[in-house]
Copies of this chain bind each other. A is one copy, B any other.
Amino acid sequence: MFYNDLRLQYPVKVDTPNPTFARYLQQAIGGIEGEIRVMMQYFFQAWNLPPSMHKYRDMLQQTGAEELGHVEMLATAVALNLEGASTDLKDEAAQDPAVAAALGGQLPRHFLSAGLGAMPVNSHGEPFTAAHVVASGNLAADMYANVMAESTGRTLAARLYQMTDDPGMQDMLRYLLARDTMHQNQWLAVIEELGGVEALHPIPASIPLQEERKAPHVDEMNLQYAFMATGTEPHDGFDGARFTSGPSVDGKGEFSMIDKMEPLGDVPELPEPPPSTFDAPRPQDVAKSGLAKVAQKAKDALS
A160 and B261 form a contact (CB under 8 A): no
**Other-chain contact of A117, B135, B264, B272 (Cβ < 8 Å):** B135
State whether A175 and B6 are in contact (beta carbons under 8 Å apart), knowing that A111-B159, A277-B115 are contacts in the complex.
no
Which residues of chain A from 280 to 294 have any CB-CB distance to chain B below 8 Å in the complex?
A: 280-286, 289, 291-292, 294
* Copies of this chain, whole number: 6
**22 A-B pairs whose Cβ atoms sit less than 8 Å apart in the complex:** A1-B263, A2-B230, A33-B136, A36-B130, A47-B268, A49-B270, A50-B273, A51-B270, A58-B235, A73-B265, A97-B101, A112-B159, A115-B137, A116-B273, A123-B125, A141-B148, A170-B214, A178-B218, A181-B202, A184-B203, A189-B248, A193-B243
Indicate the member of A147, A231, A237, A280 with the most B CB atoms within 10 Å: A280
B4 near A3 with CB under 8 A, answer yes
Given the contacts A10-B217, A104-B104, A232 and B124 also touching, CB distance less than 8 Å: no
Closest Cβ–Cβ distance, residue A157 to chain B (whole Å)? 9
* Pairwise interchain contact B227-A182, C-beta atoms closer than 8 A: yes
Q: How far apart are the CA atoms of A50 and B9 in the complex, in Å?
A: 18
Q: How far is the CB of A34 from chain B (nearest CB, A)?
A: 10
Establish whether residues A185 and B243, one from each chain, have CB atoms under 8 Å apart when the complex forms. Answer: yes
**Residues of B contacting A206 with CB < 8 Å?**
158, 275, 278, 280-281, 285
